[in-house]
A = this chain, B = another copy of it.
Amino acid sequence: MDRSVSIFDSTLRDGAQAEGISFSVEDKLKIVRALDNLGVAYIEAGNPGSNPKDLEFFSIVKQTHLNCAKLTAFGSTRRKGILPHDDKNLQSLVTADTPVVAIVGKCWDFHVSDILQASLSENLEMIRDTIKFLKQTGKEVIFDAEHFFDGYQENPEYAVDCLNAAAESGADSLVLCDTNGGAFPTNIFDITKKIVEAFGTPIGIHCHNDGGMAAANSFMAVEAGASQVQGTFTGFGERCGNVSLATIIPNLQIKKGFLCINPEKLVDLTKTARLVDEVANISPNDTAPYVGRSAFTHKAGMHIDAVMKAPRSFEHIQPELIGSSRKLLTSEVAGRQAILRKIQKINPSITKDAPETKEIINRVKELEHKGYQFEAAECGLELIIRKHLGKYRPLFELENFKIVGEQPCSTGYSTTAMIKINVDGKTEITAAEGDGPVNALDKALRKALEVFYPQIAAMRLTDYKVRVMDGKSATASRVRVLIESTDGNESWTTVGVSTDIIKASWLALVDSVEYKLIRDIENRFGAYLR
């Protein structure tokens, strides 16, 4: 390792400024623990001056033991015309009682005059006063130089004066911010290099992604000598977001030999990214570099063949290094080869040119055309192949179901589902109440099936996703339902498509249950209708 780079995570502060993001105290604690486990250097966890909830959070988080991360509170330079100890926001920063504070100050002359409406010298005084005041409380003080690159390009002397004001007043590091996110890597490199050479204080970089270059801009700043990178873990933040630390860390540590986090924890990178997105309650970006679900997914037949010969032919790193794994898809592009492999798993004697192979491929294409997608639901594909090859007999038959919902509702549940099924000539009729029609139907189906197949009791649904395929006709649009199930040992996903959400859910429920039952038979008897 040549050099260390401090990772400064602002998921809980700058990230909370993203559209659609809102954290509870419990959410924040979960994220703090996950980031500390990974070994990031700083966790910026809130702005106590602007948000009283953040102040409450800092009083709670104090009781949590952290292994290596330093908690950081964020605030602005003091207000115009008042003394630091009369400034409520600065008082809140002291009250937050964190070992580190990050102070943002203006460095772009246009912002000082037009937005802050202060004189250039007054802004310098605000920077000096604020940092001196906070240093007197014994804290580590990070100075975030807002709009530094925009400011430098319009008035370099003033931008540097602002850094000088901070450094002379005792700031422990100076962080150059591309606040509007529109800077280019060449400018970031040149300007950062000059600043690193001119100052003895450690320099950091804080990039936004409005030009799509936040990861490269952060890298170029490190190349120019920056030793701290600020970002949010999966990249959410104002507008197009902050740089994603889940991209920065492997770029620097795996590929360039910098020490960013505990090397033993690199394998937790993907898991941590999923956790952050889950806690933030946003859909993870499947195509995110490194940690996205598609990052090591291969679809083109030629790519699949090549990675099977040598992974590095189409993979820039080994996915296992960051706790991810390779995925090979079934699709039109992958074509025959991938589907054939699945067919031969069920009947090894069927060849590439057999008529069954062609029929199955045509059936899959037809279903894909209707909106089915087997990339995420491969066990649905297995059932289709079994049906075509006669390696399937229905494990139950639906006689009928009825769903009744009402509002206002007399019981705690709004919906009742009645179901009648038939297994080998014996019928079972039952009913269940639920929170909405899909929940009621799921409960009723499993209750009826348990009479014949007790092992169904071990099974539960873990995820239920609805995707409206075309928004044109609104409530009568075609919807795709994906259901993820588990029996404690294995997880599997099934899919159903219909214009009716109940029908689509039913199709996915039935596939899920049948997959479970077939797997159990195979596990007990070695094969199911092979």
Binding site for B on A (CB under 8 A): 16-20, 22, 24, 50-51, 53, 76, 110-111, 114-115, 179-182, 184-186, 209-217, 219-220, 223, 235-236, 238-241, 244, 247, 251, 255-256, 281, 283, 285-290, 292, 294-303, 305-306, 309-310, 312-317, 329, 331-333, 335, 368-369, 373, 375, 398, 400-408, 414-415, 434-439, 442, 460-466, 468-472, 474-477, 479, 483-484, 498-503, 505-506
Contacts and interface: CB of A to CB of B under 8 A. Distances in A.
15 contacts: A17-B300, A22-B368, A50-B302, A111-B306, A180-B312, A185-B185, A212-B216, A238-B297, A239-B287, A239-B294, A398-B407, A400-B408, A402-B406, A463-B474, A466-B501
A217 B240 CA distance: 19
Contacts of A211: 215, 247, 251, 255, 289, 316
Nearest to A477: B464
B316 A210 contact: yes
Contacts of A50: 301-302, 333, 335
A375 B435 CA distance: 27
B407 A405 contact: no
Contacts of A403: 403-406, 415, 437
A212 B251 contact: yes
Given A315-B180, A375-B20, A401-B407, A114 B309 contact: yes
Q: Which of A24, A240, A414 has the most CB of B within 10 A?
A: A240
Contacts of A216: 185, 212-213, 215-217
Given A19-B294, A114-B313, A289 B209 contact: yes
Given A217-B216, A295-B239, A315-B180, A210 B289 contact: yes
A300 B483 CA distance: 37
Given A289-B212, A405-B502, A437-B405, A294 B475 contact: no
A474 B501 contact: no
Given A210-B290, A407-B506, A434-B476, 13 more contacts: A19-B375, A50-B301, A110-B312, A114-B309, A211-B255, A212-B216, A240-B288, A402-B405, A404-B405, A415-B502, A436-B498, A436-B499, A463-B468
Given A212-B215, A464-B468, A238 B300 contact: yes
B405 A295 contact: no
B500 A310 contact: no
A222 to B, nearest CB: 11
A303 to B, nearest CB: 7
A213 B215 contact: yes
Nearest to A293: B19
Q: Please give me the 10 A-B residue pairs with the lowest Cβ-Cβ distance, nearest first.
A: A182-B316, A216-B216, A461-B474, A436-B500, A212-B215, A463-B471, A212-B289, A212-B247, A403-B405, A439-B475
Contact of A435 (B223, B240, B316, B476): B476
A392 to B, nearest CB: 21
B182 A239 contact: no
Contacts of A51: 332-333
A217 B185 CA distance: 9
Contacts of A368: 22
Given A211-B289, A295-B210, A500-B414, A111 B313 contact: yes
B19 A297 contact: yes
Nearest to A407: B401
A342 B490 CA distance: 51
A285 B286 contact: no
A220 B213 CA distance: 11
A46 to B, nearest CB: 11
Contact of A474 (B332, B375, B460, B470): B460
Contact of A185 (B20, B219, B315): B219
Contact of A239 (B297, B407, B484): B297
